[in-house]
Structure 1
Amino acid sequence: MDHRSQGEETREPIFRSDLEGPRPEPRYEPLRPEGGLWSVIKRWLAPLAAVGILLAKFKGLALLLLKVKFLGTALTMLVSIGAYALLFPLWFAVGIVVLIWVHEMGHVVQLRREGIPASAPMFIPFLGAFVAMKQMPKDAMAEARVGLAGPVLGTLGGLATLGLYALTGDQLFLGLAYFNFIINLFNLAPLLPLDGGRAVGAMSPVFQVLGLVVMVALFFVAPIMAFIALLGLPELWHRWKTRNTPEGRAYYDLPLRQRVAVGVVYLGLILVLGLLTGATFVPDPEALQ
């Protein structure tokens, strides 16, 4: 018996798809899956590789900028602002570069106090900036003072930015303060050529070697640390080879009170910056836009 209603017509299948039903959407499986370790490495190394190619291609221009202090600083600041603006809003990019400049000026001021000739700050997109010393400090204590001066002034710059947030309520300043604190904390890693590597050398050169081992071990967590470790490896190897020479012993021969003083300032900065980083952390980055 046909149970269909009289008005219902029988529809004969016309296409094969009418019998098989809708086909599933095709899925593309990449040869190299996204996410995981490869995604982290690619995210870090892509901009670094681009910067390396540019430096190699325009090496002569880079050397010229080192000689023309103010011009080199201004131009490299503009380039860095443009690079950071590819990832962040423009004014956030400007704030990043200004805060890095404040950090570097801490080194510049202390180098002048130590009587050490040096270049003006030179900026490298995604790597920060550097001040090139034209001669080594007289001893490890002077080097530690130069190294710690950057994070000290950088921390003050971050506190000033945090003060602007308290006055205006603008989330931009809160984001900049967080970025500043975490960058200065990062610079205190006990690894040459970072500021922390120069500081711990005053306590003992052994800490510089231990710092290298720890940072390389953290490759899978932060690949950038392994990259920085490779940059500082030649200098660390030279220092380790010459540590028992008369010059090397004189360089690291410091009174116990000076070693303790460096340790107190170094660990104190890590503690303060760690607390400030936690206090300014915003779980939702969109709130800063």
Structure 2
Amino acid sequence: MSAQPPDGAPSPDSFESVFDVYEVRQQDGQVLYFGDPATDRQRLIEAVWPAFREYGYEVRLARRTGETVLVAEPHDAGDDGVPWTNVALFVATLVSTLWVGATWYYVQDPFSPDILRALPFTLAVMGVIGTHELGHYVMSRYHDVDASLPYFIPFPSLFGTMGAVIRMRGQIPDRDALFDIGVAGPIAGLVAAVVVSVVGLVLPPVTVPPEVINSPSAVEVQFAYPPLLQAIAAVLGEPLSYSDPARSINPVVMGGWIGMFITFLNLIPVGQLDGGHVLRSLVGDQAGRIAPLVPTALFGLGAYQLFVADVGDAAGIWILWGVLTTVVTFAGTVTPVDDSPLDRRRVAVGVLTFVLGALCFMPVPIQVIG
């Protein structure tokens, strides 16, 4: 047995006051420090993390064969090589949104070059979603947190995608980093959604073919508009609907609608959603007491709409999100290494972000009639 680490790894002497190491091993690219902690888990990680990061390692506390061990893995905040999975999903989502967008532009033959008429819709949707995830990615790199490029999720229905995600690995160094990474996505995505909404509102409406309007199998999908989108339309003096059923708003506007709806959903303050990160940064451990109230509110909203307001299947979205947020709540939040409070500027930005998220709320986002 050895108590000496390999070259390029921190010496146990640098953190002996909080962790008494009696053995060091190398295994599968990891450096394992077996020892006895002299303090609780949070204070221990807070004390040893700077030393390991200085040497280029991420560190976590674990149990191996009944012993306490610090597991150190090489830290890498970049992406090596071509991210083929990300590229493939991006292309698939590009095709998926283009295909679905053809129905928004009433393209009769989606296998014809006419499908390119839907390109503005595709660019609007993917631009808003991509900007949201890029905000997270840029802030992750800024704070030297290991994060992947965005993974787009193709879905050939309604909008052609279910959004995108990035994958973060390793420890979050402090509340500032947790806040910046969490808030950057919604703010960047919302700015993009506003820009897309403005562009879409000034573009001419699309014409609904008579055969679509008069088809006996046609169904009407009604979209509510969030207060923020209504305000943009009012400032521009542009309508969000037309009395003539043969006219419909430009589908680019729906790119902004999607961005605003995604912003609201991501800012739900639970677990590892963006809102959960922001709330955890603002109030610390108190976030664990607030989060369980969220699923209760969502179930209550869904039940009210289902049994009192009688909005039919539209209530299902909040019941579904009640289930999802319950799962996310039990999964817990991220605990940064340094849990010192945020400064006043970040607190103000956090409160403003939640207010902007509330302006994207729609009690009944979508209803299918017919």
TM-score with structure 1 setting the length: 0.59
Percent identity between the aligned chains? 18
Structure 1 residues 68, 208: closer, same or farther in 2, change over 3 A?
A: farther
Alignment partners' CA distance in 2, 1:231 and 1:136: 22
State yes or no: 1:103 paired with 2:183: no
Alignment map for 1:1-289 (pairs within 5 Å): 70-81=83-94, 85=99, 89=104, 91=119, 92=121, 95-125=124-154, 127-170=162-205, 171-204=250-283, 205-219=285-299, 220=302, 221=315, 222-233=318-329, 235-236=331-332, 251-254=338-341, 258=343, 260-275=344-359
Q: CA deviation at 1:273?
A: 4.4
The residue type equivalent to 2:193 in the other structure is G
Q: Note closer, same or farther for the CA distance 1:216–1:79 as it changes in structure 2 (3 Å cut).
A: farther
Contact 2:298-2:321 at 8 Å conserved across structures: yes
1:114, distance to aligned residue in structure 2 (A): 0.7
Shift of 1:211: 2.2
Q: CA deviation at 1:251?
A: 3.0
Worse-matched range after superposition: 85-94 or 202-211:
85-94
Shift >6 Å, 4+ stretches:
281-286
Query: For residues 73 and 138 of structure 1, do their structure 2 counterparts lie closer, same or farther at Cα, with a shift above 3 Å needed?
Result: same
With over 3 angstroms needed to count, the CA separation of the structure-2 counterparts of 1:122 and 1:68, relative to structure 1, is: farther
- CA distance in 2 between partners of 1:201 and 1:129 (Å): 23
Structure 1 gap ranges (5+)? 1-65
Structure 2: distance between partners of 1:223 and 1:81: 30
Structure 2: where are the runs of 5+ without partners?
1-78, 105-117, 155-160, 206-249, 303-314
* 1:101-154 per-position Cα deviation (integer Å, ceiling 9, x unaligned): 110000111111111121111123464221111222201221111010001110
Write the letter of the residue equivalent to 1:76: L
Q: Greater strand percent: which structure?
A: 2
* Structure (1/2) with the larger helix percentage: 1
Partners of 1:81 and 1:165 lie apart in 2 by 19
**CA deviation profile, 1:59-111 (whole Å, cap 9, x unmatched):** xxxxxxx9866422222133345555559635545532332111000011111
8 Å CA contact retained: 2:125, 2:256: no
1:36 paired residue number: none
Q: Is the 1:193–1:228 contact (alpha carbons within 8 Å) kept by the matching residues of 2?
A: no
**Please, what is the CA RMSD of the aligned residues?**
3.5
